[in-house]
Amino acid sequence: MKNHQKGDKVSINVIKQPNHVDTVSDKPVGRASEVPSCIYNHMRHAEGSKMTNDDGSEMICNKEGSWEHTKKK
C-alpha cells in the first residue's frame, strides 16, 4: 500500500469520525521515516495529530508513534 511508505510526507491532522481528516499544519512536518507518526485508516498522521471518536473520547498521536487516549467521554 502506498500509504505505508516510510518516505511519505506527513502532516499534523485533526480526525473526526467517520474518516473526516482536516490538515492543521501549513505544510508537511517531515517524512514518515524522520518524524513520529501514527497510522489510521491506511494513512500516516504526524505526532500531535488528534482523533475524536463518535463517543466523544479523544486520542493524540504521541512521540512513540502510537495513539494515546487524552480525554474520556
Residue-level pLDDT at 45: 94
Residue-level pLDDT at 6: 63
Residue-level pLDDT at 60: 96
Contacts of residue 19, defined as CB under 8 A and 6 or more positions apart, other chains included, come to: 41
Quote the CA–CA distance of 27 and 35 in Å, as a whole number: 14
Residue-level pLDDT at 5: 61
Phi-psi label, residue 32: left if phi above 0, alpha if psi -120 to 50, beta otherwise: alpha
pTM for this prediction: 0.82
State the DSSP string of 2-70: GGG-TT-EE--EEEETTTEEEE-SSS--EETTTS-EEEETTEEEETT-EEE-TTS-EEEE-TTSSEEEE
pLDDT per residue as tens, the chain (73 positions): 344 566 789 999 999 977 789 999 999 999 988 999 999 988 999 999 999 988 889 999 999 999 999 866 5
